[in-house]
Structure 1
Amino acid sequence: MSNNDAFTENLLVKVAWYYYKDNLTQTEISEILNLSRNKVVRLLDRARAENIVQFHIKGHGVNCLEIEYKLINVFNLPRAFVIPTPKDELSRSLSKAAAQYIENNINNNELLGFGWGEAVSRTIESLTIDPSIEVSMVTLTGGVNYYFHKRDYSLEGGVDKFKGGIHVIPAPFLASTEEMAKNMLSEPSVRNILDLASLSNHVVVGIGGISSASTIIKEEKMTLNELIYIKNQNAVGDILGQFYDAEGNILDLPHHHRLIGTHLNTLKKLNNVIGVAGSPQKVDAIFGALKGGYIDTLITDEETAVALIKKAEVHVK
């Protein structure tokens, strides 16, 4: 494929993604891409004619953008799925992409493991599973019952898709004391779910940044003062509530001894861990997660991917 052909297909896919996935108007797309509205209309027509737009948006431009190749090569990733950076609602767009990725890769009688956070819950919400197959769901941490009661992006009304069953850790995300956490983790009902989670065929996790806007703060799983303390210990991000530094090394924090869930060292051994994250504020967190080897498949947006590659190039120098 020539550079010109690749550019054209990339443009076709961007226009299709913005229109069909992000629900932008043709005028909004023309402003983002600096194209005339008529050009956008022609590109949409061509995308349909060339079967780039089907039940899912597909094609070299979405799944194999040049930026994906760079991201995979730079971080030695097995897979990456990079979407056009949306005008807004990045988390929602990434969740739709994660859902599409899972739909394209899930098989009958498989088990999906899920972490917690906004991107993860929205991925579940967006997920459409072929009714002819049985898929099961298991949680990787406690405290996920929280999403069954949220109204803006809950699992409510959307769990029937898991015909194979839903397995939820019957415990909070964070115990009040280390001793209580040890007692909970020794309970068969908790231990059995954690053991089951280790058998997941695909695992979806969010990657949290270190800021007052972090989900871990918004969902009151931690106070801002606690997060400031953790940041001062050189933390750059968290997965499943466990914090790590810029090289992906897990920090030794009292907070970690009160968590009820899958340890990051265990996560590294699981099949196809899918990290769903993006935004300038999360570049350091995603970079650390990639350096630590916690992610097998990264689902992010173009701007974040470019920032990650640039950071890696500086890191090497």
Structure 2
Amino acid sequence: MANYNNRELIKVAYYYYKKGLTQAEIAEKMVMSRQRVNRLLKKAINENIVQIQIIDIDKYNLELETKLEEKFNLTQSVVISAMDEKNITSSLGIAGAEYLEKLIVKDDVIGVTWGKTLSEVANRLSYNNKLEAPVVQLIGGMDIAFTALQPDEITRTIAEKLGGKPYLLYAPAIVENKETKSAIMSDKSLKTTFENMEQCNIIIAGIGELSTNNTLYKQTQFNEKYIEHLLSRQCVGDIGFRWYNENGEIVEHDYKDKTIGYDILENKSNALVIGIAGGESKYKAILGALKGNYLDVLITDSDMAKRLIEE
């Protein structure tokens, strides 16, 4: 490579970074080829003549996000700064709502699951009636005490915020036998909802961990027998009540054919799947979801991101 004197190097860098000239304009002005201008600019960076500083890069966890995206082949990740466990759900809800507000455009069809974090997303979402985006409930309802966490309530809230029609699934998440499921699935009133599940191009999903300490699993529907059976099959997490193990492999279990709703794990199609979850207890569930390639976007906290990257 030719020897470039510092004056020439600094002048090219000054024209490019300070004056905003294009490489072609600099080449013409300094009577040299564009390739030479390009080499000089690279040399200026390599020799620290030009030092690029991105303000607030640590504040927004950009390096963690990039490492997550590269390691798990994600389209995008959003990492919020770590905080105590009691505030993490609301902070993830805010981050999820902000992400969706920038993402969703008219003609999008949104699919949703359920959970505390998705309830927070729904509540934090801004009103934008112009979008007229239909929102589809992807999983059946549950017999739980917390109405705000019900998938139909989350679906209604998001649809109202986006000015679209809610498509609700008036059915339980899990039934006693396959015959009951078949009867429900053949109901004409639910046909439109099931058809719209296939049309979703954006899916907003909570990630559930399998834990006997989780208060939601102490409700009537999620009894001890259900949990013990899933634990015996090495399940660690679920997306919409579709269970997988720590390697991200789909688990066959006795309740699989009794679960009503969209199987996100097996029917990912072309939808952009956005997983929103964080907190120490979710580690195995999030890692399994990433290993199974079930997510396109992950919104999580910085402690979780660091742990996933180090895994």
TM-score for the superposition, normalised by structure 2: 0.75
Partner SS, residue 135 of structure 1: coil
Q: Is this contact kept in 1: 2:174–2:260, CA < 8 A?
A: yes
Tell me which residue corresponds to 1:194: 194
- Which secondary structure state, in structure 2, belongs to the residue aligned with residue 264 of structure 1? coil
- Once residues 69 and 290 of structure 1 are traced to their aligned partners in structure 2, the CA distance between those partners, rounded to angstroms, is 15
In structure 1, the partner of 2:99 is: 101
* SS of 1:247 mapped into structure 2: coil
Q: Where does residue 72 of structure 1 map in the other structure?
A: 69
Deviation at 1:85, TM superposition (A): 1.3
1:178 aligned residue: 178
Which entry has the higher C-alpha Rg, 1 or 2? 2
> Aligned in 2, Cα 1:145/1:161: closer, same or farther, shift over 3 Å?
farther
Per-residue displacement from partner, 1:143-173 (whole Å, max 9, x unpaired)?
0797994499965877532422111011111
Distance 2:106 2:145 in 1: 26
Q: 1:220 to 1:9 in 2, by over 3 A?
A: farther
2: distance between equivalents of 1:3 and 1:220?
61
Residue number in structure 1 paired with 2:30: none
Return closer, same or farther for 1:158/1:294 CA change in 2, 3 Å cut-off. closer
CA RMSD for the aligned pairs? Answer: 2.8
Question: Deviation of residue 249 (structure 1)?
Answer: 1.2
Amino acid in the other structure paired with 2:165: G
Q: Distance in 1 between matches of 2:143 and 2:230?
A: 26
Match of 1:205 in 2: 205
CA separation in 2, counterparts of 1:290 and 1:73? 12
Asked if the contact 2:175–2:181 (Cα under 8 Å) also holds between the matched residues in 1, the reply is yes
1:83 aligns to what? Answer: 80
Deviation of 1:217 (Å): 0.6
Q: Which residue of 2 is the match for residue 142 of structure 1? A: 140
Partner Cα separation in structure 1 for residue 218 and residue 100 of structure 2: 27
Residue in 1 that maps onto 2:253:
253
Aligned mates of 1:152, 1:290 — CA distance in 2: 25
8 A Cα contact 1:206 1:275, kept in partner: yes
Q: SS of the residue aligned with 2:300?
A: strand
Contact 1:109 1:164 in 2 (8 A): no
**Residues in 2 aligned to 1:138 and 1:152: alpha-carbon distance in whole angstroms:** 13
Residues 152 and 184 (structure 1), Cα distance of their counterparts in 2 relative to 1, 3 Å cut: closer
Q: Give the 3 Å change call, closer, same or farther, for CA 157–5 of structure 1 in structure 2.
A: same
Determine the structure 2 residue equivalent to 1:276.
276
- CA drift of 1:78 comes to 1.1
Show CA shifts across 1:238-260 (max 9, x none).
Answer: 11112111121111111111111
- Amino acid corresponding to residue 230 of structure 1 in structure 2: L
Matched with 1:9 is: 56
Deviation at 1:77, TM superposition (A): 1.0
Query: Which residue of the partner structure matches residue 214 of structure 1?
Result: 214
% identical equivalent positions:
28
Decide whether the 8 Å contact of 2:144 with 2:219 is kept in 1. Answer: no
Amino acid at match of 1:77: L
Asked if structure 1 preserves the Cα contact closer than 8 Å seen for 2:207 and 2:275, the reply is: yes
Secondary structure of 1:94 counterpart: helix
Write the letter of the residue equivalent to 1:209.
E
Distance 1:193 1:247 in 2: 32
CA deviation vs aligned residue, 1:159-208 (integer Å, no higher than 9, x gap): 53242211101111111222101221222333431220221121111111
Give unpaired runs (5+ residues) of structure 1: 14-60, 312-317
User: Which amino acid is the alignment partner of residue 127 of structure 1?
Assistant: L
Q: Note if contact 2:68-2:74 (Cα within 8 Å) is conserved in structure 1.
A: yes
Distance 1:261 1:158, change over 3 A: closer
TM-score normalised by L of structure 1: 0.74
